[in-house]
Amino acid sequence: MSHNHCHDDHHDHDHSSSEEMGIQYNLYQKIDKDNLQCLNESIEGSGKTVFKPWDKRLDRTNFVESDADEELLFNIPFTGNVKLKGIRIASEDTEYHPNKLRLFKNRPNMTFDDVTMDPDQVFELQRDSESLLEYSPKVVTFSSVSHLTMHFPSNFGADTTKIYYIGLRGEWTPGHRHGVTICTYEARPNLDDHKLKHLDSVSRHIN
């Protein structure tokens, strides 16, 4: 079943496409890294290091390993709205590789207590040490994502899970929510000012 959801780029493209892939897999630049959370990471801050440039996808210097058990949970806020089109994951070709990915859209600050709810999409992962496989999120569901939660509940049998690279491909647009909030806020005092002036003129007229 999983072959319907992913494909092996190794056969679809020649080596000259690597630069193009680097351009496509640039959503790591649009992540609000200061507010990115990785729960159950064995080393604090290591979860952030797996979101890196395409040409660093095979780099084994920085990686995240789970701590108490095999679960990892990433809360990923973006600096705007994202239309998510592709996900790639690199780990070891061993039991430490995660075997499932559960995606949740626009649910900030999720914890392990929250992951019992139904995810927006689930992928059965295959072992992939070179980011050859791409998993395709449902376009309709993941067309306006301001926050993405990635839950890796299990692996291929190890006590802990390791991830070296998570690549996200898609389109980014600036978020407009903040601007709308400011406009609404500014409109209200103008109305209030107008009413107050009106009341003042009435009271002065009576006096």
Domain boundaries, the chain: 2-173, 176-207
Whether this prediction's pTM lies above 0.85 is answered by no
State the average pLDDT for the chain: 85
- Which range among 20-24, 71-75, 137-141 shows the weakest confidence by mean pLDDT? 20-24
- DSSP designation for 97: S
Q: Is 29 exposed, middle or buried (0-12, 13-18, 19+ CB in 10 A)?
A: exposed
Q: How far apart are CA 132 and CA 174, in angstroms?
A: 30
Return the CATH number of the domain spanning residue range 2-173.
2.60.120.470
Q: pLDDT, tens digit, for every residue of 39-93?
A: 999 999 999 999 999 999 999 999 999 999 999 999 999 999 999 999 999 999 9
What local confidence, expressed as pLDDT, does residue 176 receive?
63
Question: Taking a C-beta distance cutoff of 8 angstroms, is the pair 77, 32 a contact?
Answer: yes
What local confidence, expressed as pLDDT, does residue 193 receive?
52
For every residue of 4-34, DSSP letters joined together read: GTEEEHHHHS-GGGHHHHHHHS-GGGGB-GG
Q: How many CB atoms lie within 10 A of CB 139?
A: 11
Q: pLDDT, tens digit, for every residue of 148-191?
A: 999 999 999 999 999 999 999 999 999 865 444 444 445 555 55
Binned at pLDDT 50, 70 and 90, residue 19 comes out as confident
What local confidence, expressed as pLDDT, does residue 183 receive?
43
What's the average model confidence in pLDDT over 124-151? 97
**3-state SS, one letter per residue, for 29-80:** HHECHHHCEEECECCCCHHHHHCCCHHHCCCCCCCEEECCCCCEEEEEEEEE
